[in-house]
Structure 1
Amino acid sequence: MHQMDVETAFLNGELEEEIYMVQPPYFVHPDYPEYVCRLLRSLYGLKQSPRQWNARFHSFMQSIHFQRLHTDVSVYIRHFGSHFVILALYVDDIVLLATSLPAMNQIKRALTATFRMSDGGELSYILGMQVLRHRPTHTMHLTQAKFAEGIVKKFNTSVHKHYWTPLPLIRQQTYSLHNEDTTLWVHDPLSKEYRSILGSIRYLVTCTRPDLAFALYARSTT
């Protein structure tokens, strides 16, 4: 299991529409300062950029004989005789799984020949999840301890008590956020701070901590 990153991914998208922009500051043509630029590739900030990057990458994967899964359009698979490679793409983050190192390296060479890539080596940390492998027992563990610690640090919730999970249903409608110099009591579930905390914890639930789902749902609906 290896990981790679596409550098400036959105710049690889090929535009279908005619889009023009003013000349960037300090890059104005001295003879034609009133001219505008016609874009041939997508740029960061264009609403078309994510879609065009995805279309460009999909076209490339088809050209090297990968098939996209119908159940998850971000996952591709290709067989090499008795071996196979699985590629998962999340915007510009790539996870590669292969049954042999030569097959893995072949795909890496194809990727780096087409896009500007950075090779992260063996998969260790992806999308807030840390990957821990224990080869003697052929096991793998996913943990989001660092992500959870980041939530605690961001919202300064270290003063709160610890509880075992799964949590019991507690009817509570008042939530507190502790800052360095003040304590803000949030009574409105739609407040920005409340939604931010809830969204952060929901990501834990989605990835590695389904045991938090009941407590989170119960608290968010009281």
Structure 2
Amino acid sequence: MDVKTAFLNDDLNEDVFMKQSEGFKPEGQKHLVCKLKKSIYGLKHASRQWYLKFDEVMKKQGFLKNQVDQCTYLKMSGSNFTILVLYVDDIILASNSLDMLHESKRLLSHNFDMKDLREASYVIGIEIQRDRSKSILGLSQRAYIERVLTRYNMQHCSSSVALVVKGDVFGSFQCPKTEVEKEKMRMIPYASVVGSLMYAQVCTRPEIAYIAGMLGRYQTNPRLDH
């Protein structure tokens, strides 16, 4: 589900003033300013205020906030449950009960102006794959990974079953030696490459955590052998 104009739902806990908009300055009152009654887009703390408003509503409706990931909420009813995940103004719902799922949607629509996007298939760069006949739910970042490979001119590289094997060593001996090699290396944004790998690692590819960690440590101190 999508929250329409999410930041406009927020309540302000302090006095905030803004200049009058262009074309909205009555004669004799151009020296006045506007006092905001509600949050608007552009405020530095608008996203924070929206989260506090959303959190307040969810708690009143019996949802428990996850203490590790505080944008994830859980509601239980006997053996049934509904999991709700908030990402800015997008909401993902998962439940083992259609009744609870529909009730959660009604609750959200009652408190906020919502748009029901139906069954989720693609969220923040992650494709959701379903095989209902086998009761399988999968997550894939294939499109994201292909974009990363293309961005760094590695779309034609060969895949490997083992990312790293016993005996592999990374160290300064692999650093460019000649001016030609150094110039070629300058064209590769190493920190950005490692960051792209880490995003895939966190979301759907935990098996690359070891090699991504090694590359990150090498980035911190390339003179040490790892």
TM surpasses 0.5: yes
More strand by share: 1
Aligned length: 206
Candidates 51, 56, 65, aligned match of 1:54: 51
Quickly say closer, same or farther: Cα 1:79–1:167, change in 2 above 3 A: closer
Q: Identify which of structures 1 and 2 has the higher relative contact order when contacts are C-alpha pairs closer than 8 Å and 6+ apart.
A: 1
Candidates 179, 186, 206, aligned match of 2:202: 206
- Name the CA distance, whole Å, in 2 between partners of 1:63 and 1:125: 30
- Name the CA distance, whole Å, in 1 between partners of 2:151 and 2:211: 21
Quickly say closer, same or farther: Cα 1:9–1:209, change in 2 above 3 A: same
Amino acid at match of 2:25: H
**Over aligned residue pairs, what C-alpha RMSD do you find?**
2.5
CA-CA distance at 1:59 after TM superposition: 0.7
CA-CA distance at 1:81 after TM superposition: 4.5
2:2 touches 2:90 (CA, 8 Å); kept in 1?
Answer: yes
- Name the CA distance, whole Å, in 2 between partners of 1:77 and 1:217: 32
User: Please, which moves more after superposition, 98-107 or 133-142?
Assistant: 98-107
What TM-score results when the alignment is normalised by the length of structure 1? 0.81
- Name the CA distance, whole Å, in 2 between partners of 1:212 and 1:25: 53
Candidates 167, 172, 175, aligned match of 1:173: 175
CA-CA distance at 1:108 after TM superposition: 0.8
Quickly say closer, same or farther: Cα 1:196–1:66, change in 2 above 3 A: same
Stretches of structure 2 lacking an aligned partner (at least 5 in a row):
177-182
Q: Percent identity?
A: 35
What TM-score results when the alignment is normalised by the length of structure 2? 0.79
Candidates 126, 129, 134, aligned match of 2:126: 129
Please give the secondary structure, in 1, of the residue aligned with 2:196.
helix
CA-CA distance at 1:20 after TM superposition: 1.1
CA-CA distance at 1:197 after TM superposition: 2.3
Amino acid at match of 1:214: Y
Between structure 1 and structure 2, the one with the greater Rg is 2
- Name the CA distance, whole Å, in 2 between partners of 1:195 and 1:40: 43
2:3 touches 2:112 (CA, 8 Å); kept in 1?
Answer: yes
- Name the CA distance, whole Å, in 2 between partners of 1:144 and 1:18: 44
Amino acid at match of 2:203: C
Partner of 2:67: 70
